[in-house]
Structure 1
Amino acid sequence: MNALLQPLSIGPLHLSNRIAMAPVTRARAGANGVPTALNAHYYRQRASAGLIIAEATNVSPMSAAFEDAPGIHHPDQVAGWKDVASAVHEAGGKLFVQLWHGGRISTYALLDGAAPLSPSGMNDDLGLLQVYGALRNGYYTRIAASPSRAMSVEEIHATVQEFRTAARHAVLAGIDGVEIHAANGYLPQQFLSSHVNRRQDQFGGSIENRARFLRLIIEAVLQEMPAVQVGVRLSPFALYNNAIDADADGPGDSDTRATYAYVAQMLNGYGIGYLHAADTNAWSGNKDMPRILEILRPHFKGVLIANGGLSFEQAEQLVVAGQADMVAFGRQYIANPDLAARIAQGGPFNEPDPFTFYGGDDIGYTDYPALN
């Protein structure tokens, strides 16, 4: 049997296979970031995944990087997520929701006129930041990022509490767990990055200081749920959103390796349920998974999920070799709601339509056919 089809446990959570649905932003939430019946239907269709990691979900009104992404900071949003969780559970699935704060990856146009928040107000690279919005004609497109401002220590601690509240809301919604989005250049990774984080206080400088924000988030979330119900997503070499120095293969490489070895060991110490290793650069054909696993696997002994640019064959090889315990697929799950069954029989596979990835209605969302 294909190793991806073998069962797996994350603490008390028993998963039917090792195929995860990666968190893929679809920008189809309802008004004010409230999940809708259409969202519940979308996730229910994909409940045969061993684990669904739902799309990036705002923990705060100040977190938006994509317009029409869902939130989990308001009671109406919690009610919407409760319907999503019920739909997934009724279909036999397991659901984590990804807790997200965009930080400097935003614009005043999505933040009610406010400036985005960032570790140190670095703004010399706004053209590299990926912010998206919906046009009045219905199309969804990239829009300009706005200059950010450095967070005060008080704002840092307030943001940590927003993650804690989001975790509490996930519990109230009946969601199985949460994933902290510390990848793709968003706020937790901004603090981890010596390139973006230029603070001179207890949240900047040394690796320990740069990891403090993520550490505080983990400790806050653990006040609301057991460690095994918490995952963390990391993308050590991500160039997306200018997360690290573009010269990461040169002088910046040693700092990146040391930073993420420290973070993996830190997370292992908390006993979290899983570590999600994301090869963001694979989107542009520059695959980094071998060196990512080389850093993370020796320091993290729990469940490790690999994601990014992997074929099904490569994914199975990682599991067989013990380099990963589970593999997450994103675009493949957009087009194939019953991906696990298709992998089991070797296809056929629907091709995703990139023009319907973001925004819109059921077209390119819930209308991809299943087998039979």
Structure 2
Amino acid sequence: MSIKTENADLKPLFEPVSIGAFEAKNRIFMAPLTRSRSEAKTNEQTGLHALYYVQRAGAGLIVGEATQISKQGQGYAWTPGIFTESQVESWKVVTDAVHEAGGRIFCQLWHVGAISHPVFQPDGGQPVSASAWTPDGEAFVGDRHEDGPQVPFQESRALRTDEIPGLIEDYRHAAKCAADAGFDGVEVHCANNYLIDQFIRSATNDRDDDYGGSLDNRLRLMREVVDAVCDVLPADRVGVRLSPQGGPGGTEDAQPEETYPAAAKALAGRGLAYLHVIRPNSHTGEGKDESGDKILHRMREAFDGPFVANGNFQPEEAARWIADGHADAVTFGRLFLANPDLPERIAQDGPYNEPDEETFYGGGAEGYTDYPSLEQVDDALPA
């Protein structure tokens, strides 16, 4: 169902846009949002997740929550996986419901690398990264550690060169699982200082093999993973997410203005569905550095396909970015979290529900599927 707005400044958000293999009904996309509500032992989804995503099926595209490609790839409590048959079956409930509601949904393929803890790792081993490294901060382990839900990160080990083919195969397998689960496509998570980004960033990569040293080498894993995923799915059903600045663990690349446009250029010419780029925001950084926008503009110029921007956008600014040609669509995170019918709310300039940070991670329906829609608000008003 198409939505119209009387606000001329917002109209760019409601124009359809070609995204790879399909046409999105609007340019208001839902960002991937970790909510930590999956089954603890199996990392499966439930009917509650189906309801959550169906409520938000008015998005031009839903990019599903970050979903680990393997047991090694997990770094947070109660996050979903996409590598076992039971996980595939659990996701089918979600994708079928979204499609029935007229929406489209991509699966974000995720390996956190060092942003993990031994409680999640096979046989309690060290998390892996581009190089040995101890992230700043704490791991969210839920009920899996005697010291509480958050414990300090531990040192990761460098992924051995002979392990990389197996890692790439894990991405290939997860992409096939996502297709079997009924997703419309996948987004390869190369952002937020997780594993692939740890290979890209100079601060976390001091390797001396073919995956370290030069910028071209640091981009190698990203290229090879995207190639592997495109062996399974048509390229026009594959997106990639990058973040030039910030992210968990406390590291930066020494020259993001060079590194990330180069990464965008390395992804050009493949016919990908889109490139999804995060500017500094409350999750990935301070969000005050205007150079972040300049890097995004350079990445937009370097990439030859649809460009999706993210990072604390309000509707008016998002519409300006689209009107000015800086982006083809914008993903909204917290606004979509708290406003399941966000496109309708934007069309009439609000009002907007305020997100409850206390219920962001873990729990059940509260703060997840109980945010009221405009229709529910209207029904609750006195006659």
Q: Shorter-chain TM-score: what band? A: over 0.9
Alignment match, 1:68: 78
Aligned pair 1:117/2:117, yes or no? no
1:15 partner amino acid: A
Q: Which residue of 2 aligns with 1:368?
A: 371
Amino acid at match of 1:334: L
Match for residue 38 of structure 2?
29
Mark the runs of 5 or more structure 1 residues left unpaired by the alignment.
Answer: 246-251
Q: Does 1:6 align with 2:15?
A: yes
How has the CA–CA distance of structure 1 residues 130 and 287 changed in structure 2, closer, same or farther, with 3 Å as cutoff?
Answer: farther
Q: Distance in 1 between matches of 2:87 and 2:102?
A: 23
Aligned to 1:166: 174
Residue of structure 2 in register with 1:248 after alignment: none
Confirm or deny: 8 A CA contact 1:240 1:281 kept in the other structure.
no
Distance 1:150 1:340, change over 3 A: same
2:359 pairs with 1:356: yes
Residue 330 (structure 1) aligned to one of 325, 330, 333: 333
- In the alignment, the residues of structure 2 paired with residue 175 and residue 144 of structure 1 have an alpha-carbon distance, to the nearest angstrom, of 35
One-letter amino acid of the structure 1 residue matched with residue 278 of structure 2: A
Instruction: Name the SS for the 2:269 alignment partner.
Output: helix
Q: Please, which runs of 5 or more residues in structure 2 have no aligned partner?
A: 1-7, 376-383
Matches within 5 A, 1:230-241: 230-241=238-249
Which residue of the partner structure matches residue 262 of structure 1?
262
Corresponding position: 1:187 with 2:195:
yes
Find the aligned partners of 1:103 and 1:177 in 2 and give their Cα distance: 23
Q: CA deviation at 1:136?
A: 7.9
- In structure 2, the partner of 1:56 is 66
Q: Does 1:146 align with 2:148?
A: no
Are residues 1:94 and 2:117 paired? no
Whole-Å Cα distance in 1 between the matches of residues 83 and 26 of structure 2?
31
Bigger mean CA offset, 301-310 vs 140-149 = 140-149
Distance 1:236 1:136, change over 3 A: closer
Report deviation, 1:294: 2.6
Q: Please report how far the alpha carbon of residue 280 of structure 1 lies from its aligned counterpart in structure 2 after TM superposition.
A: 3.8
Does 1:208 find its partner at 2:219?
no
* Cα distance between partner residues in 1 of 2:251 and 2:271: 26
TM-score, normalization by structure 1: 0.93
- 2-side partners of 1:77 and 1:145: how far apart? 27
Match of 1:85 in 2: 95
Query: How far is 1:45 from its partner?
Result: 0.7
Counterpart-to-counterpart distance in 1, 2:127 and 2:341: 38
Name the SS of the counterpart of 1:9 in structure 2: strand
Query: 1:179-238 CA distances to partner (integer Å, 9 max, x unpaired)?
Result: 011111100000001110000000000011000101110110011011111111100112
- The structure 1 segments of at least 4 consecutive aligned residues displaced by more than 4 Å after TM superposition are none
Q: Secondary structure at the match of 1:352?
A: coil
Aligned equivalents of 1:67, 1:136: Cα separation in 2: 8
**8 Å CA contact 2:21, 2:237 repeated in 1:** no
Structure-to-structure mapping, 1:277-356, within 5 angstroms: 277-283=277-283, 284-288=286-290, 289-356=292-359
Partner of 1:249: none
SS at the partner of 2:187?
Answer: strand
**Structure 1 stretch displaced more, 270-279 or 292-301:** 292-301
Larger mean Cα displacement after TM superposition, 32-41 or 105-114: 105-114
Find the counterpart in structure 2 of residue 274 from structure 1: 274
The separation in 2 between residues aligned to 1:290 and 1:78, in whole angstroms, is 37
Q: Deviations over 1:312-367 (max 9, x none)?
A: 11101000001000000001111000000000111110000000000000000000
Give, in whole Å, the separation in 1 of the partners of 2:351 and 2:203: 43
- For residues 4-44 of structure 1, the C-alpha deviation after alignment (integer angstroms, 9 at most, x for no partner) is 11111113311110001000100001131111111111101
The alignment's TM-score, normalised by the length of structure 2, stands at 0.90
